[in-house]
Amino acid sequence: MAKTFLAPAKINLRLDVLGKRPDGYHDLSMVMQCVSLYDCIEISLSEGGGVVVECPGVEISPGGENIAARAATALLKKAGSDLGVRVRVEKHIPVAAGLGGGSSDAATVLLALNEMLNLGLPLSELMSVGSTLGADVPFFIFHEPAVAEGIGDILSPLPCKLPPVWYVLVNPGIAVSTAWVYQNLGLTSRNDEYRLPGFPNSVEGFSRFLHNDLEKVTIPGYPVVAEIKESLLACGARAALMSGSGPTVFGVFADEVSARAASEKMGREKGWMAVAVEPV
C-alpha cells in the first residue's frame, strides 16, 4: 500500500560564507526556515527488492545517482531489509532553485521509511544518515527554524521565535548551479571575526537581518535576480533576498492578504512563478 508524504521547501534568511575548507567545501553560517511549498512523495513497499524513483515531467538522475534513491537505499541497508521501494515524486519545488527541493525529498524518504518499516530510529540517527547524502538533508529532518554551521550540517534551534510573517517566493524559471556559484565566489576568510547578528523581532527587522553572500556571484550572472528583488519591494515587500544560490527570491510581507496580492500581481505581469507561503 502506498503512503503520501509532503516535502517542504526552505529559504535562507541569512547565508554567510566564512571561508574555504581544506576539503574544498565552505564553512557557512546560515539561518534556514521551512515554508509551505511542498513536493508530494508517494512511497510503496514490495517484496521484489530494489529502489525505483519516478518524477513525472522532471528529468532526474537515473537509478542510484538520484538523491531520493540513495536515501531509500541507505535506510534499507541500515535496516537490513531486502524489501523493494518505489518512490514517486510530484515536483512543485523548482529544481536548482535555492529552495532545497532535492534535499527535502531525500529527508522525507528517510523519515517515511523509518515510519513505514517501523524502525524507530531517533531523528539524530536519521540526520547522521542524511549528512552522507547532502549538506542540507539534516536540516529537513531537524524540521524547525535553525542556525546551520559547518557545511550546513551542524544545526541548532533559533534562540527566539521569529515574527509571524508571510513570504512570496518568485522563481524566473531558470536553473542555477550551486557548484558554479561557489566556484566563482571570491572571499576573504572571516571565521575569527564573524558573529551572527541579533534576530529580527519585528517585520521591519527583517530588512536589517536578511543577507546572502552568494548574491554577489549569482546576480552578475543572472541579473533577473536583482529585477525580482526590485519588483517584490515595489509590490510592498518589507525586504527581499535571494535564497541559497538562487535564482529564487523571497519577499517578506506582514500578512497573508498582502502576500497573496503581490504574488498574483507578479505572476500576472511578469510571468514568473510566484507563490505566497507561510513558515512551517
Question: What's 273's domain CATH number?
Answer: 3.30.70.890
Q: Are residues 18 and 140 in the same domain?
A: yes
Mind telling me the catalytic residues? 10, 136
Question: Does residue 223 have a cis peptide bond before it, meaning omega lies within 30 degrees of 0?
Answer: no
Whether residue 64 is predicted with pLDDT greater than 80 in this model: the reply is no
3-state SS, residue 110: helix
**Planar angle of CA 213, 100, 163, nearest 5 degrees:** 70
Q: Are residues 138 and 176 in the same domain?
A: no
Instruction: Provide the pLDDT for residue 23.
Output: 82
Q: Are residues 197 and 67 in the same domain?
A: no
Helix axes 101-116, 67-79, angle to 10 degrees: 30
Instruction: Provide the pLDDT for residue 13.
Output: 98
Instruction: Provide the pLDDT for residue 277.
Output: 98
Residues paired with 148 in a beta bridge: 30, 155
With a pLDDT cut of 70, the percent of the chain lying above it is: 96
Q: Are residues 183 and 152 in the same domain?
A: no
- Whether the full predicted model's pTM is greater than 0.75, yes or no, is yes
Instruction: Provide the pLDDT for residue 22.
Output: 84
Whether residue 102 is predicted with pLDDT greater than 60 in this model: the reply is yes
Q: Are residues 234 and 103 in the same domain?
A: no
Q: Are residues 106 and 42 in the same domain?
A: yes
Whether residue 122 is predicted with pLDDT greater than 80 in this model: the reply is yes
Which has more pLDDT, 19 or 64?
19
Q: Are residues 146 and 178 in the same domain?
A: no
Instruction: Provide the pLDDT for residue 194.
Output: 76
Chain centroid to CA 277 = 14
pLDDT by residue (tens digit) across 198-246?
899 899 999 999 999 999 999 999 999 999 999 999 999 999 999 999 9
Q: Are residues 203 and 268 in the same domain?
A: yes
Q: Which residues touch 192 (CB under 8 Å, ≥6 apart)?
A: none
Instruction: Provide the pLDDT for residue 189.
Output: 60
9-33 average pLDDT score: 92
pLDDT by residue (tens digit) across 157-198?
999 999 999 999 999 999 999 999 999 998 656 656 678 888
Counted domains in the chain:
2
| Domain end among 157, 175, 195 | 157
75-82 average pLDDT score: 94
Q: Are residues 262 and 183 in the same domain?
A: yes
Instruction: For residues 135 and 154, give the distance between their C-alpha atoms in angstroms, rounded to a whole number.
Output: 9
| Domain end among 157, 175, 200 | 157
Q: Are residues 94 and 193 in the same domain?
A: no
Q: Are residues 49 and 184 in the same domain?
A: no
| Domain end among 134, 157, 180 | 157
By residue range, what is the domain housing residue 109? 3-157
Whether residue 9 is predicted with pLDDT greater than 70 in this model: the reply is yes
Q: For residue 106, give the CATH number of its domain.
A: 3.30.230.10
Whether residue 250 is predicted with pLDDT greater than 80 in this model: the reply is yes
Q: Which residues touch 129 (CB under 8 Å, ≥6 apart)?
A: 71, 74, 75, 78, 110
Instruction: Provide the pLDDT for residue 99.
Output: 97
Whether residue 43 is predicted with pLDDT greater than 70 in this model: the reply is yes
Average pLDDT, the chain: 93
Q: Which three cell numbers stand for residue 57?
A: 515531467
Q: Are residues 113 and 150 in the same domain?
A: yes
Instruction: For residues 227 and 149, give the distance between their C-alpha atoms in angstroms, rounded to a whole number.
Output: 30
pLDDT by residue (tens digit) across 203-214?
999 999 999 999
Q: Which residues touch 263 (CB under 8 Å, ≥6 apart)?
A: 168, 170, 274, 275, 276
CA dihedral 186, 190, 196, 200 (to 10 degrees): -40
